Amino acid sequence: MNPNESKRLKITFIFFLIFVAFLILVGALIHIATDDRKLPKLVISESDKALRGSILSAQDFKIATSKKLYKAAVDTRNIDPDKKELFIELFSLYSHMDKEEVREKIDSKQGYVILTYKLDSLTARYVKQLASKLFALKVFREYTDQKAGIKFLHGLSVIESGENRIYPLKDTLTPIIGYVKKKEVHNYTTISGKYGLEKYYDSALEGLQSTKIKGRRDVTGHIILDDESVVKNRYDGYDVITAISIPLQKSIEQILDRFKEQLQAKEIIAAVMDSESGDIIAVASSRRYDITHVENADALTISAIRYIFEPGSVMKPIIFSLLLQNRLVTLDEIVRTYNGSFQLGNKIITDEHRKAYMSAQNVIVESSNIGMAQLSQRLDELSYFQGLRDFGFGQRTGIDLAYELRGSIPSIHQLKNSVFKATASYGYGIKVNFFQLLQAYNVFNNRGILLQPKIARYLQSKLKKQKIVRKKPIQILSQRVVDEMYRTLIKTVNEGTGRATRTEGIIVGGKTGTAQIAVHGIYEDLYNSSFFGFANGRNNRYTIGVTVIEPNPEGNVHFASHSAVPVFKAIIDQMLSMHYLTPLQTTSAP
């Protein structure tokens, strides 16, 4: 090999070595750039989750509201062993955790430890302040990860961990309020409505937009807010503002509790509706529960929309108004009532009042089954069926509660049968829910107009106020018929089965209903009793309903006049004392 070739070979070898070294350097740089070595990020982001909206009363009392939960975590490898007790002492003081519990958490392992998941927002703010103080006190020290070959310094971190639903008024407005169910999503506790108002307004209550903050981090791991940081504002869910009056609601609940025990009833339901607006200002049940400690799923059922029952004689004014509307009866015509016993087909119909004759109006006042059985035959099956539909029976009212049952009415074919017509006229062979009856009776106190009942008035957020959408009001009775029914229901209170509801200075009208309960198709010694009607004062007009489910049949207390009527009267008296009703000097038609 000549000297020139030897020189070229050496130069080529040197260039090869340089090239290999360059490749190694490039590979190392790529590895450094792509390898996850758990280095602290220079740019970080934080999220502040939007909260579920609240449910409030007409007086802005919080019926349901949400609070955030936060978790506190620390890397125990960064805690200076000489200052471990100081950390335990201060964290216990700021977080209200027991010192031994904190010590046990820290000693559980070397590394990232979650100390608690249940800090409320106020406590979380204090713990965040503590995190900065701990750095100033040099409680934390750098730790070298031997495997990664890096040093890091992490302090005490406070991270949002979920949302908790609070019911400040305990069992008030249960089961109407409904409940929420918790779900873990990426270590964050979310909630969603599962029944009642919580379910019906779930999409509106859900948080609209969470806060997003992105920016450079400081040495303690917090975001530096400057011109380069990005902030996206938080918008919580809509608040649902109800028409519910909490003072009246609680008073009625106490009345129902008292009468439930007195009547030994399974349950009592009552509601008060503003007759002109359709707003429900109180809706109560004697079967309530602490939402945070529900053990029996049956307790969650809202009987006002889920309990379907044969209403009994409270149906008589409905059918009677259809006869008046179709000009098939007059108030003063005489109806033969056969001294209390009448055979229709193969069915014997009886009356408690054994009279030979009575006026058509008194058929309602004295609650004659025989009179209604005969008068109902004047309605053709199509008018009968459509009339029930017009009053809202056999279909959902649209009350803002989830899972309302629609009940049932006889078909047009069934109504061709005279017995079906008769029994439906006094409340058998037809299935209703409580709010269907309340909505129907409101027609008599609201100029013949059918209104959709609603518990909520409007939705409110920081962005806007949104009205609750209602069905269009429908005129189903003429003013002539309303006037006649209004007088008839007042007479029923003054002279008939509702006498015990008479109240000085208040216009009270309504109708009793006592219905035997069928179990597997056989009528047992079980009853439901109801009273639906109105109470009008100087400035306000209300439609009120009471249904007593299975009162004790002994001693005849199961009759509506001895069960539902006293409850109705107690509610009127309470409304008077709380000035929802103001006495007037004279009575007048609507």
Q: Does 131 map to a domain?
A: yes
The answer to whether the beta carbons of residues 166 and 68 sit under 8 Å apart is no
Closest CA to 573 of 172, 174, 258, 243: 258
Angle at 165 between CA 159 and CA 170, to 5 degrees: 145
Query: Which residues in the chain land under pLDDT 70?
Result: 1-17, 19-22, 26-48, 208-234, 294-299, 586-590
- Count structural domains, the chain: 2
Residues 316 and 427 sit within 8 Å (Cβ to Cβ): yes
Q: Based on the fold, state whether residues 514 and 426 are members of the same structural domain.
A: yes
Q: What's the token pair of residue 184?
A: 């873990």
- Measured in whole angstroms, the distance separating CA 472 from the mean position of its chain's CA atoms is 23
Q: Helix, strand or coil for residue 293?
A: helix
- pLDDT of amino acid 45: 52
Identify whether residues 238 and 277 lie together within a single domain.
Answer: no
Q: Is residue 515 part of a domain?
A: yes
Question: What pLDDT is recorded for position 185?
Answer: 77
pLDDT of residue 152: 81
Q: What is the dihedral of CA 501, 484, 363, 434, to 10 degrees?
A: -60
Q: Given the DSSP bridges, would you call strands 150-152 and 143-145 parallel, antiparallel or unpaired?
A: antiparallel
Classify residue 296 as exposed, middle or buried by CB count within 10 Å of its CB (0-12, 13-18, 19+): exposed
User: What CATH number does residue 187 fall under?
Assistant: 3.90.1310.10
Do 290 and 267 lie in a common domain? yes
**pLDDT attached to residue 292:** 74
Q: Domain check: are 416 and 342 in the same one?
A: yes
d(CA 138, CA 124): 21
Query: For residue 400, is it within any domain?
Result: yes
Q: State CA 32 to chain mean position distance.
A: 56
Q: What angle do CA 28, 30, 31 make, to 5 degrees?
A: 65
Q: Where do the H-state alpha helices sit in 298-433?
A: 303-306, 316-325, 360-365, 369-375, 381-390, 418-425
Measured CA to CA, the distance from residue 51 to residue 423 in angstroms comes to 52
The dihedral sign for the CA sequence 334, 339, 344, 348: positive
Q: Are residues 504 and 442 in the same domain?
A: yes
Based on the number of CB atoms within 10 Å of its own CB, is 418 exposed (0-12), middle (13-18) or buried (19 or more)?
Answer: middle
Determine contact, residues 196/228, Cβ cutoff 8 Å.
no
**Nearest CA-CA partner of 362 in 494, 533, 477, 483:** 494
Structural domain includes residue 541: yes
Host domain of residue 152: 43-135+143-209+234-242
Distance (Å) of CA 468 to CA 2, 79, 241, 400, 403: 101, 55, 10, 10, 18
Predicted local distance difference test score (pLDDT) of residue 37: 46
Query: Do 477 and 535 lie in a common domain?
Result: yes
Residues 472, 496: contact at Cβ < 8 Å? no
Same domain, 202 and 252: no
By the 8 A CB rule, do 199 and 302 touch? no
Structural tokens at position 420? 């079906």
Residues 266 and 149 in one domain: no
Q: What is the mean pLDDT of the chain?
A: 89
Question: In this predicted structure, what is the pLDDT of residue 479?
Answer: 97
> How far is CA 558 from each of CA 250, 514, 544, 547, 562, rounded to the nearest angstrom?
25, 8, 20, 11, 7
List Cα–Cα distances, 554 to 263, 265, 310, 499, 557, in angstroms.
10, 12, 21, 22, 7
Q: Which of 242, 266, 291 is the last residue of a domain?
A: 242
**Distance (Å, rounded) from C-alpha 473 to C-alpha 340?**
40
- Assess whether 498 and 522 both reside in one domain: yes
β-pairing verdict for 474-475 and 465-467: unpaired
474-511 b/e (C-beta count within 10 Å ≥ 16 → b): eebbeeebbbbbbebbbbbbeebbbeebebeebbbbbb
Q: Is the peptide bond between 168 and the residue preceding it cis, with omega within 30 degrees of 0?
A: no
Q: Is residue 425 part of a domain?
A: yes
pLDDT the model gives residue 222: 58
Query: Would you say residue 16 lies in a domain?
Result: no
Residues 203 and 257 in one domain: no
Secondary structure in 3-state letters for 508-554: EEEEEEEEEEEECCEEEEEEEEEEEEEEECCCCEEEEEEEEECCCCH
Task: Tell me which DSSP letter residue 305 carries.
Answer: H
Last residue of a domain, one of 196, 222, 242: 242
Task: Identify whether residues 157 and 253 lie together within a single domain.
Answer: no
Nearest to 78 by CA among 148, 158, 151, 141: 141
Q: Are residues 238 and 267 in the same domain?
A: no
Pick from 196, 218, 242: which residue ends a domain? Answer: 242
- In 10 A of CB 42, how many CB atoms? 8
Q: CA–CA separation, 115 vs 97, rounded Å?
A: 9
* Inside any domain, residue 126: yes
Alpha-carbon span 454 to 508, nearest angstrom: 23
3-state helix, strand, coil in the chain (%, to 5): 35, 30, 35
Structure tokens at 5: 């070739």
In a domain, residue 381? The reply is yes
